[in-house]
Structure 1
Amino acid sequence: MRGKIIGFENEVDKWDETTDVVVVGSGFAGLTAAIEANNSGASVVILEKMKAAGGNSIISDGGIAAPGTALQNKYGIHDSTDIMYGDMLKAGLGINYPELVRILVDNANDVFQWSVDYLGVEYLDRIDIFGGHSVPRCYTAKNVTGATIIKKQMKKINELGMEVRFSSYLKNLIMNSEGRVCGIVVREDYDYKDPKKGKDRYIKAEKGVVLATGGFGADVDFRSSQDPRLTEKIGTTNKPFATSETIKESIRIGAMPVQLSHIQLGPWASPDEAGYGVGPMFSEYIVFQYGIIVDSATGKRFVNELSDRKTLSDKLLSIGHPCIGIADSKAVKEAGWNIDTGLKRKVVRKFDTLEEVADFYEIPAEAIKETINRFNENYKEGVDKDFGKILIENSSPICEAPYYAMRLWPKVHFTMGGIRIDADARVISIEGDVIEGLYAAGEVTGGVHGASRLGSCAITECLVFGKIAGKNIVNQSKI
C-alpha cells in the first residue's frame, strides 16, 4: 500500500504518528500558526522541507506594514485601516478579495504589536513609505532582515516545547471518506537536490493541516506556464526551493487555485548580483524615495519612482534593458541606511560627478543633466509635475556630490496567486465549499494582494492569517 499516491484514509494501512495539528512550513505564517495552535491547546507537528527554519522569510528585509500605530502617532502621521485598504485595492487593480484585505488591515496593528510584546521583536525607530503606500506605514525589523523575526519566533517555539522537523517534505494530503483532510504523507530526510532520498512517514492530524509553504517564484516551469515571460532568463529573489508542489497537491485534492498568473517582480533588483542581493537596500530605500530612475539610452525619467511594484516592473520591462537608479550623497545621508556592502560588491557605484555617471553607464550626459535639473526645479515648486511622485519629508533636490547609482532590472519576487481561502483561513474547494481540516496562510494562498502586493504587506499577511489559521484549526475542527 505504501508508495502509492495516497488520497484517502482507507488506503493507509497504518499511521506512524498521530497529532492534533500538522503545520507545513516554518516561515512567518507557519511558525505563527504553530504558536497559536499550541496556545489554543493543541499538539502540533511543524514540518520544514529544508535543513533550517525560515524559508524565504529569513531572507526578506523584515519589513511589516500597519496603520494607526503608536509610532505613526509619535511622528504625527495620519493613517487608518481604510486608507491602507484603499492603497492595497488600488495596487491590486481591484481584483483583491475584499474580505481578505479587510481582515488584513483591521488586524495589522494588533499583529505588529503582538510581534513586539509577545515575540519580543525589535524594530528600528523609523517609518518608511514604499511604492503604492499613500503614507509612511512600513516598519523594519532590527538588522534589516526577516531573520530577526524568525529567530524570535523560533525562540518562542522552543519555549512552548515545540520543535521544527527539518528535511521533511509534504508529499501528499490524506482525506477521509467524508472529504476531510485527516493527515499527510511526509518524506523524511528529504533533499531537494535528490528528491528520491529519504523515506515516507504517515502522520494523522486529528484537527487538520495548516499549509504555510510559501510561493513558487523559483519554479521556472510552473511560473512560466502562468506567465510565459518569466522564463529562466528572468532571475528570482527567492531561494531555489520556492516551488509549486504544495499548490499542485492542494489542487489535486480539489482546492481552488486563484490568480496564479499574477506574479510580482521586484523592480529594485540588480542584474549585477544573484538572488535578492544587497542592492535593494540602495534602490528601494534610497533611490525610489529620494532619487530618480532613468533610461540609460535616453537619460530621461519614465515613471514615478514611488509607484507600486507592478507599475515599476512593467515600465522597466517595457524599456527592454536595465535602467539606472541615481541618488546623491545627501539622500544617502538622510535615508540613514548603510550601503557599504553594495559598494563593496560593486552593485552600487559611487561617482564624483554626473559626467562620470553618464560615462560609466553610457548615458547621454546632457540628457541626464537636463533630467535632474528638471526634477530639481519641480522639487523646488513642491510638486513632481512629470510623474506625480510624492516628495517625502527630508528629501531634497539631487545636487550634492558624490552621486550613487545602480543598474535595475526586475526579478521574480512574490506570487500573488495560490490556493483560495476564506476569512477563517479555511481552504476552499473548486466547487466553492470548505475543505474541512485544511487551512492555509501566507504566500501559498491567493487573493489577498490581487495584481500587485505592496511592500511590507507580506509579513503582515503571514502574521494575520497565520494567527487566524492556528486558532481556527483548533476551535473549528471536529475530532
Structure 2
Amino acid sequence: MSKVSRRDFIKFGAVSALAASGVYASDMPVFRDKDVKFDEEWDVVVIGSGFAGLAAGIKANERGNKVLILEKMGRVGGNSVINGGIFAVPNSELQKKNGVKDSKEIFISDCVKAGLGLNHVDQLAILADRAVDTFNFTVKHGAKYLDKLLLEGGHSVPRTYYTSNTSGSGIVQPLAETFKNLQGCELRTRCKFDEFVTDENGAIVGVAVRNDYKFDKNLFSDDKENKSGERKFIKAKKGVVLASGGFCSDKFFRKLQDPRAVPEFDTTNHPGATAGALISALKIGALPVQIGWIQYIPYKCPDEKGNGITSKFASQAAFRYGILVDPKTGKRYMNELADRKIRADAMFRIIDAKNDSYPINLCDSVAAAKLVESDLANPMKNGVIMKFDTLADLAKYYKMPAGELEKTVERYNEFVKNGKDEDFDKPIKLTDGITISQAPFYAMRGAPKLHHTMGGVKINTKAQVLNIDDEPIKGLYAAGEVTGGTHGASRLGS
C-alpha cells in the first residue's frame, strides 16, 4: 500500500465528502501551469470587488503592482454595496469627541462574548489595531460619514460610524473609482473565477476564469449549472487574493452547513453570494474553519424581500430605545441589545410562520426622531413600518392583547426610569433615558434572515491562506467574509 501523508489523507477526505454531496463535478478540475497557456498576466489578481477586494487591490497597487480585480456579477461591490454602511472603529476620534471610553481590550471582549469564545483572538487583535487606519483609508479615498456614533448589537459602547448616504455604496463607490483610476489596474465585471492554477509544488500561480459570464439567478445552483462565458487563463506573478465573500445565497451549500437554511429561507445577501470560490480553495488544500456557523440578522422584516430598508428603524430605534413583543401575549421576550445570535434565536422561538405570526418591534416618536429622516420615511411609504396614535391602536392592528401590551410598556418604562431591566437585563444606560411614552408610536413586524457566513478558509496574521499542516499555501491570500475564525460563532452588529 502506498504511503499517504496526513495532509493528503484529510484533504482527500474533505474533498471526497463534498464530492459525494454533489458539490463538485466528478473530475474536480484543478489546473496545472504546465498544462495551460496563459492569456494574460498580472502581478496580483483579486477575486471579488467588495470592501475587502477593493482595499486589497488599492493597497497592492500602492506597492507598485499591476492589479486585476475580478467580479462575476454585472455590478461592483457584492454584499458590501448593499449593506447598511456601518463601520465599527474602536478608539476613534468621534468616540473621543463624544467622551466614549473604549479600548482594544473592550472591543475584543465584546467580539469574544458574541462569538461564544470561538474567535481566533490574534486576528481580532489585528482588526482592533488597524481599525482607525482602515477607517482613515476609506476617508482618504472618498468615503463620507455622518458626525454621529451608533450603538450596534453586541457592542458595549457606541463605536460605529454611519456613511452619509446610509449605505455600503458610500464606501464601495469611491474605492472602486479610486481603483479604476490607478495606473496598471483593471476592474473586470462579468468575469467568473472558476479554479486556481498551481505549479508542481502546489503554489498558486494563476486562475482559470470565464469572461462575459452571465449570472443566472433563476438557477438553483449557478456555480454548478451555469456554463456561460469564455474560458481564459490569467497568470498571477506575485499572488492571488481571495475576497469572494460569503455564501448565504447558495441554497445547496448553506443547507449542507445549517439544515435550517432551507432554499425558501430569505437572505439579506445579493444573489451572487455563493460558495463556488470557497470550494475551489478547499480543492487545492485550504483549511476550512467554522464553516457551519451562519449568522441570522434579527433586524429584518418578513414583509419585504431580501435586505430591505427597515434595518435602521429596527436596530437604531426599536431595539435600542423601544421593545420587541410577542404578538400572541403582548409581552417582551428578550434583551433587545444582546448580540445578533441571541436575539435571532429568541425570535425563532416565538415566530409562527404557518400562522403568519411574527414579533413586533416598536418605539415612540422620541426614539424615531433619532433616525435619519429617510430611514423612517421610506419604509413607511412602502407600508412596512406603521404609525399609530395610541398603543391600543397598535395592539389592535397587530391583533395582540392591548391590556397586556400597555402593562408591558409601563413595566419597561419603569425599568428605564430606575436604570435596571429586571426581566432581561437590557443595558438600560444605553437607552439614554428614553421611554415609550410620546405618541405617535411606530412599529414593524420582525424576522431574522440569513446574513453572514462566519466560517471560511483559515488565514494567518499576514492574510496567507493555510493548509491542513497550518502552513501557508504559497501565492494565496484571503480577506473578508470568505475567511474564518475572526468572529467565531457570531459577529457583532458592525
Provide the TM-score with structure 1 as the length reference.
Answer: 0.92
Asked if 1:21 is matched to 2:52, the reply is no
Q: Residue 21 of structure 1 contacts residue 209 of structure 1 at CA under 8 Å; is this kept in 2? A: yes
**Shift in CA distance, 184/334, structure 1 to aligned 2, threshold 3 Å:** closer
Give the ranges of 4+ consecutive aligned residues of structure 1 lying more than 4 Å apart after TM superposition: none
- Report the secondary structure of 1:142's partner residue: coil
- Partner AA of 2:124 in structure 1: V
Q: Secondary structure at the match of 1:224?
A: helix
CA deviation profile, 1:365-410 (whole Å, cap 9, x unmatched): 1111110000001111112121121232544110111110000111
Which residue in 1 is equivalent to 2:151?
129
- Which residue matches 1:346? 383
Partner of 2:268: 237
Amino acid at match of 2:187: V
Determine the structure 2 residue equivalent to 1:476.
none
Listed as ranges, the matches of 1:8-407 within 5 Å are 8-12=32-36, 14-116=37-139, 118-161=140-183, 162-193=185-216, 195-321=226-352, 322-338=358-374, 339-391=376-428, 392=430, 394-407=432-445
In structure 1, how many angstroms separate the alpha carbons of the residues matched to 2:435 and 2:87?
Answer: 29
Give the superposed CA RMSD: 1.3
Match of 2:19 in 1: none
- Percent of paired sites with the same residue: 45
Q: Residue 20 of structure 2 corresponds to which residue in structure 1?
A: none
1:421 aligns with 2:459: yes
Q: 3-state SS of the aligned residue for 2:331?
A: coil
* Aligned-pair CA distance for 1:122: 1.1
CA distance in 2, matches of 1:422, 1:447: 10
Q: Partners of 2:396 and 2:475 in 1: how far apart?
A: 61
The change in CA–CA distance for 1:450 and 1:277 in structure 2 (over 3 A counts) is same
8 Å CA contact 1:121–1:141 kept in 2: the answer is yes
Q: Which residue of 1 aligns with 2:7?
A: none
Amino acid corresponding to residue 452 of structure 2 in structure 1:
F
Structure 1 stretches of 5 or more lacking a match? 457-479
For residues 286-327 of structure 1, give each alpha carbon's deviation from its aligned partner in whole angstroms, at most 9, with x where no partner exists. Answer: 111110000111111111100110000011111133200010
Residues 334 and 394 in structure 1, CA contact (< 8 A), matched pair in contact too: no
Mark the runs of 5 or more structure 2 residues left unpaired by the alignment. 1-26, 217-221, 353-357
- Answer yes or no: is the 8 Å Cα contact 1:281–1:337 preserved in 2: no
Amino acid at match of 1:282: F
Name the SS of the counterpart of 1:250 in structure 2.
Answer: helix
CA displacement 1:37-63 (0-9 Å, x = unmatched): 001111111110011111110001110
Matched AA of 1:341:
N
Q: CA deviation at 1:124?
A: 0.2
- Alignment partner of 1:431 is 2:484: no
Could you report, residue by residue, the CA deviation over 1:127-161 in whole angstroms, capped at 9, with x for unpaired residues? Answer: 01111100000001111001011111012112313
Equivalent residue pairs, number = 452
Task: Name which structure has the greater RCO, CA cutoff 8 Å, separation 6+.
Answer: 1
